[in-house]
Amino acid sequence: MSETAEKVKKIVVEHLGVEEAKVTPEASFIDDLGADSLDTVELVMAFEEAFGVEIPDDAAEKIQTVKDAIEFIEKQQAAA
């Protein structure tokens, strides 16, 4: 697992209070990890803070799974 993936996983565990094992790449924040719409807003803010990236609202809406988040952040980092 990449460094970014590890970090994303850790943030998800901390913010949603879920077990690490549940945070698989396919896991959906809302359907599998018990997040509500406000939780996902906060989660995206935590990603922005941790990775120093900006995630616009329309992009944030498409980040629904752990994998979505990792891919978006890695793309941003590669572009930077």
Partner 1 sequence: MGITGPLGLGVERFWRRLVNGESGISAIQSFDVKDLPAKIAGQVPPGTRAEGGLDLNEWIPVKEQKKMGRFIQLAWVAAAEAIEDSGWAPEDEAGRCATGVMIGSGIGGLEVIQEAGLLVAAGKSRRLSPFFIPSALVNLASGQVSIRYGFKGPNHSAVTACATGVHAIGDAARLIALGDADVMVAGGAEAAICELGIGGFCAARALSTTYNDTPAEASRPWDKGRDGFVMGEGAGVVVLEEYEHAKARGAKIYAEIIGYGMSGDAYHITSPTEDGEGGYRAMKAALASAGITPDQVQYVNAHGTSTPMGDDIELSAVERLWGDAARGLAMSSTKSATGHLLGAAGAVEAIFSILAIRDNVAPPTLNLDEPSRPSPIDRVAKTAQERKIEVALSNSFGFGGTNASVVFRAAP
Catalytic residues: 36
Query: How big is the site for partner 1, counted in residues (CB under 8 A)?
Result: 9
- Structure-token pair, residue 31: 């359907």
Minimum distance, C-beta of residue 54 to partner 1, in the bound complex (Å): 9
* CB count in 10 Å sphere of residue 3: 8
- Is the Cβ of residue 56 or residue 80 nearer to partner 1 in the bound state? 56
Which residue, among 41, 59, 31, has the nearest Cα to 73 in the 3D structure?
A: 59
Buried b (16+ CB within 10 A) or exposed e, 42-72: ebbeebeeebeeebeeeebeebbbbbbbbeb
Piece of the chain touching partner 1 by CB under 8 A; list 4-12, 22-30, 35-43, 64-72: 35-43
Residue of 6, 10, 30, 49 that binds partner 1 (CB under 8 A): 49
* Contact positions vs partner 1 (CB under 8 A): 15-17, 38-39, 41-42, 45, 49
